[in-house]
Structure 1
């Protein structure tokens, strides 16, 4: 019996991914937040391979303000793998909610994008 066994029990309630909640809409300006839109474009992605992409927002003191990630698969365009334009492109728009209490200039924010293949040696999906 492991040290964390009592915390790792999987029940029906913990596996319900599609539950609904009642939430009221919030006025973003009144609650003191800022929206930051980041457009991500990753070129030369092998089609049929699962890719994980993360986007991290840093301030000028190298503190992480927000981060988000997603996984995707680029569809195959051509059956001929010798085609020069065989690789695909991932394009996604992400919107971040940043706290307004931190006084920072949006021009001083840094955005870092990190990506890697998931199971790169597996056959294509």
Structure 2
């Protein structure tokens, strides 16, 4: 992922409703969710949901797949991981061990920020 794609993805995720939708789809995994399931989970009107799904799709973060008259949306995990890779590329001058997030099984913490 490069700067323009990352900017579009971050812009799309910078809206609380779109971020909530994306998180729903990430939680759903590869099976995705229908618009009805998303709308119910987030208490969104159909037109509002449709607008936000279109924005996420335009940013390349989600895909929709038709199943007869229904559509299932799913997170594009390659795009999500590409965004994470872009954000952490060259982290700490290439010493990724210094800035990698702590894992649940480790007690490592990020270094304190200097004021």
Taking structure 2 as the reference length, the TM-score comes to: 0.26
Larger fraction in helix: 2
In the superposition, the TM-score normalised over structure 1's length comes to 0.25
